[in-house]
Amino acid sequence: MNKEYIDLLCEGNLDLESAIKILRKSQAKIIIVVDDRKRLLGTLTDGDVRRGLLSGLNMQDSIDRFANLNPIFVTDKEILEKKNIFHDLEILHIPVINEEKKVVDILSSDLDEEGFVKHAVIMAGGFGKRLGDISKTIPKPMNKFEDKPLLEWIILDLIASGINKFYISVFYKKEIIKEYFKDGSQFGCEIVYLEEKEPIGTAGCLSLISDRNNPLLILNADLVTALDYKSLFNFHKKNNNSLTVSIRKHIVNIPFGVFDLEHETIKNLEEKPSRDYFINAGIYILEPELLDLVSPNTHMDMTELIEKLIADRIDISAFFLHERWIDVGIPEDLEFARTEFKKIK
């Protein structure tokens, strides 16, 4: 019996914010949703959380609104004959219930959970103009956070998530980055530099990659985030699309009254409203066949590649990023990220 299942039981009225803290601490990465008598109601995984937030639910909503309320389960009398069930399903944990539907155990798969994304592209070639004087002496990703450059923290996070080969696109003050990271061997990885002769955009550098056989994690080098990259990898694999784009919610507060008009007639007034938008978080997973869409020595941004896929009716997955995320593109955000760094990491 797996006694750790007890820590995974949560009643359906628990708020999502509290549940996420439990998910982060749990090695199983699943919550078993029960009623007040410990009877099975459903299961909650990282994917359920992101789908719910994407649909408009929020952190204060109860987890029974996010959970899969039709979970796969086995009875305590079926355990022996169901040992091979994981080989037929894309799940790693299954609750075990008794005849009263109370959860009494959890079955866990012994299948390999290792991530399938092994290569990453880090876009570090920008001028960092929005940082003003800060970027006159060093490239933006080399700004220090505690005792290390931001780019080093990003690489270490990704190594911990299973990445073993990095492509770093460089242009502005590239010698500083190359001298610091060299071939990556001192960090236990391989680093290949995508050296642009002139800026060719956030997607243009992908044309410099010769290996066309592996999916790629692509991200900006100016992000501080608590994202669990393995959750992103698993999401991409499960959705089986050519491109996954990480998105997050951004709230715009309008400090004025807003009118709804019908021709010249005012039909409604909304005082100082807020608007929610889904914004690009600058983190992607791309299947290698899409590299052929990026022409050599041609300027192309990731947004242009996304627009092309939309026009060609190629499905793109949206991965909702609810974790802490800061773009350090301006001095104020850089300093804020430094003060929040320990909390995020």
Given this model, what pLDDT does residue 5 score?
78
Given this model, what pLDDT does residue 89 score?
66
- The residue among 122, 67, 75 whose CA lies nearest residue 94 is 75
Given this model, what pLDDT does residue 82 score?
61
Given this model, what pLDDT does residue 78 score?
78
pLDDT tens digit sequence for 273-329: 999 999 999 999 999 999 999 999 899 999 999 999 999 999 999 999 999 999 999
Instruction: Write down all domains in the chain, each with its CATH number in brackets.
Output: 3-108 (3.10.580.10), 119-344 (3.90.550.10)
Given this model, what pLDDT does residue 3 score?
65
Cα distances (angstroms) measured from residue 100 to each of 7, 47, 64, 85, 187: 20, 28, 20, 22, 53
Residues, the chain, total?
345
Q: What's the N-to-C CA distance of the chain in angstroms?
A: 34
The residues of the chain scoring below 50 in pLDDT are none
Record the pTM.
0.86
Q: Say how far apart CA 180 and CA 178 lie, in whole Å.
A: 5
